[in-house]
Structure 1
């Protein structure tokens, strides 16, 4: 029986430990999102020792933020868990989710192991704001944008969902792309496509939300973003006629509806592009739950 040593997640390179932890597209994107400084010549493709040596130096470097330093071991662990989840259960996990889970678990561990434990009252409103969808002001709509990317050889999916102050879904859309080289490129494409959709629907006051910190930073600070410059300039041009707009990055938990729609392209091969009034019926329970539990945008 023939055995394949190609990475089971991306089918691009041999499945070495270095590849799984650092160079498989999902792992690589997770490290980019983390903003952990990399060596000038990049991470080693062949030496786990050199890469771990660099990460250990980062952990001990007090010039790097404490929260960022603390999360490094958990990022490695979550990347490895994501690989096993795909291999053994066929379930994919993306970079934003891996990073968010690593940061959450690292924070919980360090909080639980503090020498001095301080008990503070729980602010339920703050917790909801961090975990759940947040409704926009009364005269503004919110457009949540999401994407699902596997590799440059596979179809990838994007989706947007636009809701009003009451959490009512006004409309939503889904489409697939082919031959997109990176997750970041797809994230930028998804924002551009969403902006164009909002303009065609004649929404003029919009809050855009995406889990892609890099894509959002690119739109807000294009001169500091060396990639996808043409796409970003097209986004800015499309935003200019709007009466009011805002774009911000959010946690995965606040983007569940759009993400599940985008995921339907890569997980269940729903490649048909469409735009529809209201929300998809198969997500009505989640949509209603988010509408009832949402708090106002601060």
Structure 2
């Protein structure tokens, strides 16, 4: 995986069997050895996608190739880098002052829902939090038979809260 990335490798030193030595190399030694910021900026993404590929194999029995993992990590790192450029440009622009809603402008009651879903579980968790204009709150939670997807679970929570 590391050989397919832009992160400089040193045979016998990085990568190696010691996770501590590998992280030492990535965080401190690689820069001292002349690696550029551009070469190093994707390594957190690489680590994350190695972890995700490991989980796919451990929990779902699916093996993701090193090439696919490297491409996936590179793609996500590039998207993140582009998003940072757009965010910094927006932050520098002058934004209009948008007044916040006052309690009088809010529509009451307010209901917030959430669900917990796992495709391998037989159950789904549903919850709600209902506030009224007097400051009183009502909470609810329950389990139910699992549903088809996380989106369906969220819809179940809304329907149950109503």
What TM-score do the two structures reach when normalised by structure 2?
A: 0.46
**TM-score under structure 1 normalisation?**
0.26
Larger radius of gyration: 2
More contact order relative to length (CA 8 Å, sep ≥ 6): 1
